Amino acid sequence: MAATPPPIETEALIIGAGPAGLFLAFQLGLQEIGCHLVDVLPEPGGQCAALYPDKPIYDLPGLPVCSGRELTERLLQQLRPFNPPLHLGQLVSSVQRQPDGRWLVRSNGQNNGPNNIQAWLAPTVFIAAGVGAFVPRKEALPELEPFEHSAPVQVCYHGRPTKAALATARHVVVYGGDAAAVELALQRKLLPVDSATMASAEPGLYAVGDINHYPGKRKLIVCAFHEATLAAFAAAAQLRPGQRQLLQYTTTSPRLQQLLGVGG
Ligand SMILES: Cc1cc2nc3c(=O)[nH]c(=O)nc-3n(C[C@H](O)[C@H](O)[C@H](O)COP(=O)(O)OP(=O)(O)OC[C@H]3O[C@@H](n4cnc5c(N)ncnc54)[C@H](O)[C@@H]3O)c2cc1C
């Protein structure tokens, strides 16, 4: 068995690269908090990318109509100035508090064999895991297993071949249709949070998006964006105690524009 590599140290770790996780990474960037993102899926976007990439969304502020795929692309574009490392194909399996108060997060790689384990050590962890991990449902054909991670023939258990699969394989076999090939592991576990900060009862552990719960919670993308913004402010207060928190506008703040690489 391969040895577990030393944990990656980071100020913040986001579990889940759906719309909540992606926008949270942007908001953390505005707070000058470095983060890593981890997701079990081979591509970011969560439900929008995996379940309804081509379906229209009509209730995003300022975007009268936008598909799930387009929203994901726009979120990634917005996030680009901060360029946070994105660890895909990693199923987070444990989150443990360490004696120094930080959190040790471990994941198991889904794509490159069972020994592809990763770990992170962070004072703040954000659970943006939506309705849970999307676990591919496999066809019970052992003869197909050797082709799962190999080119030129590659077997995919997702609704559509990934960009990586298309880039490396000469023939791509897709089993099932969009929804049929993907089983949603609905764990239905909601994490109660303080609606002012998205902090859970555990210090340093936050939850945003569909996974959290507070009075009046609505599982909508616009609510996830609001929660991500509040969580980033709360994390900044936790990580930089005593530092005055200024509310600055991206429109007018030279500091924020410098972070974004825009403006004069
Ligand atoms: C068909 C459909 C249509 C919708 N239309 C609308 C709409 O019009 N407007 C609207 O506002 N909302 C809509 N929604 C709801 C919206 O998609 C969700 O509210 C939104 O996706 C929640 O974002 P999230 O980031 O919290 O979670 P998700 O999008 O679920 O993302 C969570 C991510 O976490 C990852 N993850 C989970 N567990 C783990 C783990 N253990 N390890 C690693 N990664 C993990 C998952 O793989 C996933 O990528 C729709 C939903 C569906 C299904």
Kindly state whether residues 103 and 192 are assigned to the same domain: yes
Kindly state whether residues 101 and 141 are assigned to the same domain: no
Kindly state whether residues 143 and 61 are assigned to the same domain: no
Q: With cut-offs at 50, 70 and 90, classify the pLDDT of residue 193.
A: very high
Residue 109 maps to a domain = yes
Hey, whose CA ends up nearest to atom 1 of ligand 1?
52
CA 134, CA 155: separation in Å to the nearest integer?
A: 17
Cα of 250 from ligand 1 centre, angstroms: 27
Q: Is 118 in the pocket of ligand 1 (CB under 6 A)?
A: no
Res 145: pLDDT: 55
Cα of 147 from ligand 1 centre, angstroms: 29
Stretch among 65-74, 96-105, 156-165, 199-208 having the lowest mean pLDDT: 156-165
Place of tokens 């007018």: 252
Q: Mind spelling out the 3-state secondary structure of the chain? A: CCCCCCCEECCEEEECCCHHHHHHHHHHHHCCCCEEEEECCCCCCHHHHHCCCCCEECCECCECCEEHHHHHHHHHHHHCCCCCCEEECEEEEEEEECCCCCEEEEEEECCCCCCCEEEEEECEEEECCCCCCEEECCCCCHHHHHHCCCCCEEEECCCCCCHHHHHHCCEEEECCCCCCCEEECCCCCCEECCCCCCECCCCCEEECHHHEECCCCCCCHHHHHHHHHHHHHHHHHHHCCCCCCCCCCCCCCHHHHHHHCCCC
Kindly state whether residues 69 and 82 are assigned to the same domain: yes
Residue 3 maps to a domain = no
**Bridge partners (DSSP) listed for residue 183:** 135
Residue 2 maps to a domain = no
Kindly state whether residues 195 and 128 are assigned to the same domain: yes
Residue 14 maps to a domain = yes
Q: Is 129 in the pocket of ligand 1 (CB under 6 A)?
A: yes
Q: Write the pLDDT tens digit of every residue in 171-186.
A: 433 333 333 322 333 3
Per-residue exposure over 91-102, b if at least 16 CB sit within 10 Å of its own CB, e if not: bbeebeeeeeeb
Q: With cut-offs at 50, 70 and 90, classify the pLDDT of residue 103.
A: very high
Kindly state whether residues 88 and 126 are assigned to the same domain: yes
Res 76: pLDDT: 98
Residue 1 maps to a domain = no
CATH code, domain with 88: 3.50.50.60
Kindly state whether residues 88 and 129 are assigned to the same domain: yes
Q: Is 60 in the pocket of ligand 1 (CB under 6 A)?
A: no
Q: With cut-offs at 50, 70 and 90, classify the pLDDT of residue 2.
A: low
Cα of 46 from ligand 1 centre, angstroms: 5
**Number of separate domains in the chain:** 2
Mean of per-residue pLDDT scores for the chain: 83
Residue 170 maps to a domain = yes
Residue 216 maps to a domain = yes
Which ligand 1 atom is nearest residue 44's CA?
A: 49
Q: With cut-offs at 50, 70 and 90, classify the pLDDT of residue 128.
A: very high
Cα of 62 from ligand 1 centre, angstroms: 20
Res 11: pLDDT: 98
Q: With cut-offs at 50, 70 and 90, classify the pLDDT of residue 188.
A: low
Kindly state whether residues 106 and 231 are assigned to the same domain: yes
Kindly state whether residues 207 and 150 are assigned to the same domain: no
Q: Is 220 in the pocket of ligand 1 (CB under 6 A)?
A: yes
The tokens for 107 are 């994941």
Q: Which domain holds residue 178?
A: 136-182
The answer, yes or no, to whether residue 230 has pLDDT greater than 80, is: yes
